[in-house]
């Protein structure tokens, strides 16, 4: 059985809690930038590439949900206006 350290689909991010390995395999939902910071700080996510992905994808989850939990999101929303389908 192959384990994925990060599971992402639009608006949904789950990380494999690496503190429980190798005895258990449990995925934890990450729903905000704050929660991503907490799982990284607790070392539930390890390795520079995985840490970077969790940080970026947690921001994508917040933007998708339309509920900014960090102070940077309003600035990003102003800099990147929403686009409708079919727009370039």
What separation in angstroms does the CA of 16 have from each of 24, 38, 67, 71?
10, 14, 24, 27
pTM: 0.73
Nearest to 5 by CA among 43, 60, 41, 38: 43
Q: What is the pLDDT of residues 39-53, one digit of tens each?
A: 999 999 999 999 999
Contact 3, 39 (CB under 8 A): no
Residue 30 has pLDDT above 70, yes or no: yes
**Helices marked H in 11-72 — which ranges?**
33-41, 48-65
pLDDT of 66 reads: 82
Contact 60, 51 (CB under 8 A): no
């Amino acid at each position: 059985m192959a384990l994925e350290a990060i599971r992402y689909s639009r608006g949904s991010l789950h990380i494999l809690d690496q503190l429980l390995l190798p005895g258990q395999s449990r995925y934890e939902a990450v729903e905000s930038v704050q929660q991503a910071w907490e799982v990284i700080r607790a070392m539930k996510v390890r390795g520079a590439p995985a840490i970077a992905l969790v940080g970026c994808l947690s921001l994508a989850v917040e933007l998708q949900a339309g509920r900014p939990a960090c102070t940077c999101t309003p600035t990003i929303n102003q800099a990147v206006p929403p686009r409708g389908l079919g727009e370039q």
